Structure 1
């Protein structure tokens, strides 16, 4: 285990507590009797069984992170992670979500900051997790709010998924790595807009993806995301599926060539820089 500076640890718990107060919740780790309710909440969020109560009990018993956000006595969010390689350094956060009607209140932030403080308490200094690279709000949250950075682009990582969120849409994921023993980023630490940066992927008429060639002299480029991919999946799943291929075919060759994904802008773009 890493030795964590006592002030860093104190600041992390302060960040977590203040975030929970702003969100109007209490975040705490679960005991086995609460795991059936956590399973039910996860089922409600994803429309399918993500983790069973026995699996949650086993993870908690083995020392993994199994926690939930409560509004009064009502469980409104669940966050679960397990120890990862290198042992003693990292936690992999497998799932985190909030129930319908509570998005935008900061409950997700409260859970992640509680997870961060819990890890630092145990000498863990990094959390990894995956997210769907097409979900613009998650990209902005991960990179802008938390300061997590891209570690890898994983093509069809989970294979075909059948839950209510991901069915029929492929499972490309971005793996992010979040350093925990540094201050959270300031509000202006990443650019708010991709204005003036050449677009290699843009949103065209009828929300269709439009791919453009890489400008020969460009040292930075941007890739736009649909404003609401989840809504697009509900009303036009065929177009949403085109976005999966377009983003993959845009980002993967650039990343393989050494370009770095350096930011997610507030206006829904990834920014990439040439090495």
Structure 2
């Protein structure tokens, strides 16, 4: 059983930093968080929490208060997958935020990573609201090096009915996709844009972009540009992401002029 608690001791912050370093392999000049920053955030009312399996730190999250009665989750990482560490951290974040009268939690994530999109949209009920090209500039860590740092801003409305249902252990309600057209498809591992005049469209992302970065940087670049143009273009035009279909496609309701 994973237990999540807030952290306040320097020794704990050092453990969190070591965990993040193991996950991302930060470049010395590109550290998104460090021990002094965690100390300052925790002391000033920000969010620093760790997930523990017994005495072993298996995950952690760092966030700060943001405009609009929000907590911005700056960085969250788990040393293991498939054990519910990420979900436990997010549920702790939600409870922490609600206790302080906050209405939402925001964070950024790479829109090409399928498992993150599925987790954020389906398991949590968050929604991407903004496409952010090259948001962090050039990154040199072990995971992101060689790829553009495009991100989407996820907004988790903590008291939205579908979010509360999921938080209580309910099942997600899939968004309707009947009659939807595929605006971006995956064919032979490569992105293919298609005309889509329907009110609801589907935008594919690669099966495993992290493996693709290592095996075929050119294909990774093609996916990056295609998703930036398609998903980013839809959001910029007023489209609204309503879910993630079949663990492969963003579902987007297009803005329709009347």
| TM-score (ref. length: structure 1) | 0.84
Query: How many matched pairs?
Result: 244
Q: What's the CA shift string for 1:11-32, capped at 9, x where partnerless? A: xxxxxxxxxxxxx211111122
Cα distance between partner residues in 2 of 1:256 and 1:60: 35
Match for residue 226 of structure 1? Answer: 206
Aligned pairs for 1:46-85 (under 5 A) are: 46-48=24-26, 49-85=31-67
**What secondary structure is seen at the aligned counterpart in 1 of 2:139?**
coil
The answer to whether the 8 A contact 1:39-1:50 is kept is: no
Cα distance between partner residues in 2 of 1:43 and 1:83: 24
1:203 aligns with 2:186: yes
Which residue, out of 167, 173, 195, partners 1:189? Answer: 173
Match for residue 212 of structure 1? Answer: 194
- Give unmatched runs, 5+ long, in structure 2: none
Which residue, out of 81, 88, 92, partners 1:103? Answer: 81
Which residue, out of 140, 146, 156, partners 1:162? Answer: 140
CA RMSD of aligned residues (A): 1.6
- Give unmatched runs, 5+ long, in structure 1: 1-23
Match for residue 175 of structure 1? Answer: 153
**What secondary structure is seen at the aligned counterpart in 1 of 2:116?**
helix
Match for residue 20 of structure 1? Answer: none
Cα distance between partner residues in 1 of 2:177 and 2:207: 14
Match for residue 3 of structure 2? Answer: 26
Match for residue 244 of structure 1? Answer: 224
Structure 1 runs, 4 residues or longer, greater than 6 Å off: none
Cα distance between partner residues in 1 of 2:93 and 2:227: 30
Which residue, out of 97, 102, 119, partners 1:124? Answer: 102
Q: What's the CA shift string for 1:94-115, capped at 9, x where partnerless? A: 011101xx20111100000001
| TM-score (ref. length: structure 2) | 0.89
**What secondary structure is seen at the aligned counterpart in 2 of 1:184?**
helix
1:142: Cα distance to partner? 1.0
Aligned pairs for 1:9-48 (under 5 A) are: 24-33=1-10, 34-48=12-26
1:270 aligns with 2:220: no
The answer to whether the 8 A contact 1:144-1:187 is kept is: no
1:91: Cα distance to partner? 0.6
Which stretch shows the higher mean deviation, 265-274 or 35-44? 265-274
The answer to whether the 8 A contact 2:129-2:241 is kept is: no
1:236: Cα distance to partner? 1.6
